Amino acid sequence: MNGLLAQCDSPNESFNPAERYGDEMRSFDLGDADRLPYFEGDDFRPFWPEVMKGERELAATAPDEAIRIPDFAFTDQDDREFGSEQLRGKIYLANFFFTRCRGICPLTMPRLRGVHREFANKTGNFEMISYTITPDIDTPPVLHKYGQDLGINFQSWHLLTGSREVIYKLARDSYGADTDTRSTQGEEDFVHSEQAFLVDEQGYLRGIYNVKRNNDIEAIIGDIRLLQQEQTI
């Protein structure tokens, strides 16, 4: 079975990132609880740069090696172009899914909907985006119906489709979205994961979460607020 579909068809309730990643596990157990890390390297190591101290604490300047999401442009559920240009200066949460998924997505997408509702009706510049990993199937009308059935507010949550090659490259190279980072997947394979990715207003990756975990959902909400506070400094 294609690796892209296999992960989603059989939800793994006992999945433990520590067993998969070992010492390379993406963890926020160390560092500054009042600030979010940046990430660097092929294994997406979190690190906390120093901040200047004065009359008030200044936001840390992202170091050159920090992972930054490159510019992209796809098509959303309303058949409109949507990408980094529309997200400029905004905090956003991203994930990868597909509409025919019967394993992970029915568990993770409603949880992400809960995160979205926490911020959707409040002032601020928070958005959510979900990239489909089967863009040949998930056309804008298909995405629109999927979003309607899920109760998604399209005003600030966009379901994106486009070039499969570009989506997969973005997923692997910029988000590290393949669950198994120790093996090299073929270009036509993509191991779907339950992760979500928090990106700051400058396009830097600032958080990686397992959406199936209750603690991580709480962390996402708290970390979005941290980034919003960081913007006001």
Domains and CATH numbers, the chain: 3-12+68-232 (3.40.30.10)
**Whole-prediction pTM:** 0.80
The 3-state secondary structure of the chain, one letter per residue:
CCHHHHHHHCCCCCCCHHHHHHHHCCCCCCCCCCCCCEEECCCCEEECCCCCCCCCCCCCCCCCCCCECCCCEEECCCCCEEEHHHHCCCEEEEEEECCCCCCCHHHHHHHHHHHHHHHHCCCCCEEEEEEECCCCCCCHHHHHHHHHHHCCCCCCEEEEECCHHHHHHHHHHHHCCCCCCCCCCCCCCCCCCCEEEEECCCCEEEEEEECCCHHHHHHHHHHHHHHHHHHHC
* Percent of all residues in the chain with a pLDDT value above 70, rounded to a whole number: 72
* Percent of all residues in the chain with a pLDDT value above 90, rounded to a whole number: 59
CB 3 within 8 A of CB 168: no
- Comparing 190 with 160, the larger pLDDT belongs to 160
Residue 29 has pLDDT above 50, yes or no: no
Positive/negative CA dihedral, 14, 11, 153, 150: negative
Mean pLDDT of 196-217: 95
Confidence of residue 33 (pLDDT cuts 50, 70, 90): low
Structure tokens, 145: 């119906």
Confidence of residue 164 (pLDDT cuts 50, 70, 90): very high
State how far the Cα of 202 lies from the Cα of 63, in Å rounded to an integer: 12
State how far the Cα of 23 lies from the Cα of 26, in Å rounded to an integer: 9
CB-CB neighbours of 144 under 10 Å: 17
At residue 177, the pLDDT reads: 85
CB 113 within 8 A of CB 151: yes
State how far the Cα of 181 lies from the Cα of 173, in Å rounded to an integer: 11
